[in-house]
Structures are given as structure tokens and as C-alpha cells.
Amino acid sequence: MVSIVGQTLENQIESLQGYGCNKILKEKQSGAKSNRIALHGALEYLREGDKLIVTKIDRFARSVKNLHNVASQLEDNGIGLVFLKEQIDFSTPSGK
């Protein structure tokens, strides 16, 4: 996800492909917005045992509270959450 329409997703896509992602959803919208179609689509698509891989935390969450809520929802559904730049994997003991 990028914040400004003129920005490119290329570097983020390369990072996700390098991690081994097989489905990449793209969105050019601010992380501060709540009506994010690609994010909502990803959350509906994911199933138990899947992982949601995000390039950077600021591309994902509007606030720490929002991050906590979504991360908890994913965990409750057996879905992992990984942030590449920060090297945080919420599905591991150290990530939790």
C-alpha cells in the first residue's frame, strides 16, 4: 500500500515476492483511512493457517489501537501477521 497515488508499489511488491507471497493485493490509499477495500478484501480472504504479510506497519494500521485490534482478530482466527521491514512475526513467541 502506498499513501499517494503518484507513489509506486514496485519496491513493496518485490519485497513480498521475495518473501514468497503468492497473492498480493495492492492499494494506493492512506493507512489512516478506514475504508480500505484491499485490506478488507485480504481480511475476508485469509483462512486459518494463512499469514498476512505486510511490508511496513505504517502501511497497515491507523494507530496502535487499530494494530492491536486487527492483530488480535487475526490471531483469534488462526491467521499469522508478519511485518517485513520491522522483522516482526506475530505468529512466533517473540512476535507476540
Q: Is 42 helix (H, G, I), strand (E, B) or coil?
A: helix
- Residue with grid cell 507513489, as numbered in its chain: 7
Residue 63 contacts residue 37 (beta carbons within 8 Å): no
- Residues 83 and 56: beta-carbon distance below 8 Å: yes
Catalytic residue status for 3 = yes
**Catalytic position from the list 3, 15, 30, 91:** 3
The residues assigned a catalytic role are 3
